[in-house]
């Protein structure tokens, strides 16, 4: 019999009340709490705790407390990653950030989702769809990135945008739902 965590990691419907998955969420909450309780001068401790919280930290990354996530181990960040205060990562599926990504305050990235059918939803199962963010992306404050979205290299997501569709490289999007505002001129 397939374990629920294996189903979750495979992007299949899973039971979020499963004891192993519940323990993983508790562990992530504890790691977030420890990270969020650090002083600004505790840079070495923050680096160590962030490495324990996130699944992958490639190079130098800065995350301003508080930060929240469901599991942490499904979050990967590239070199030069910066997340401002109050970011939330619901990482039932992978969330991958490229290098030099900048997140404004209160950015939310969701991979967890639920069935549309109310009877299926009432059964309590959920699933996740990965989110991928390319290199050199800037996501403005209070933006929301929804499950399954891919954001191309060099894109900009305006503050407050709700991104429900993929964002092409070097494109500025904004609004709810987010729409292309303009392309970013090349070199």
Q: Which residues are catalytic?
A: 114
Give kind and range of the element (H or E) at residue 7. Answer: helix 4-9
Say if CB 145 and CB 131 are below 8 A apart.
yes
Taking alpha carbons only, the member of 41, 47, 44, 45 closest to residue 61 is 47
């Amino acid at each position: 019999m397939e374990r629920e965590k294996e189903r979750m990691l495979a992007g299949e419907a899973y039971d979020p009340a499963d004891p192993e998955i519940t323990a993983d969420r508790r562990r992530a909450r504890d790691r977030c709490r420890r990270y969020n309780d650090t002083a600004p001068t505790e840079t070495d401790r923050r680096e160590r705790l962030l490495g324990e919280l996130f699944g992958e930290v490639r190079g130098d990354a800065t995350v301003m407390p508080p930060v929240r996530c469901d599991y942490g181990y499904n979050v990967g960040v590239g070199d030069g990653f910066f997340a401002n205060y109050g970011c939330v990562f619901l990482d039932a599926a992978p969330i991958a950030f490229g290098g030099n990504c900048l997140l404004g305050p209160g950015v939310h990235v969701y991979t967890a989702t639920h069935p549309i059918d109310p009877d299926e939803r009432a059964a309590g199962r959920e699933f996740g769809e990965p989110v991928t963010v390319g290199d050199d992306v800037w996501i403005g404050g209070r933006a929301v990135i929804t499950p399954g979205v891919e954001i191309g290299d060099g894109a900009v997501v305006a503050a407050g945008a709700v991104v429900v569709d993929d964002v092409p490289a070097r494109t500025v999007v904004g609004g709810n739902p987010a729409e292309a505002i303009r392309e970013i001129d090349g070199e």
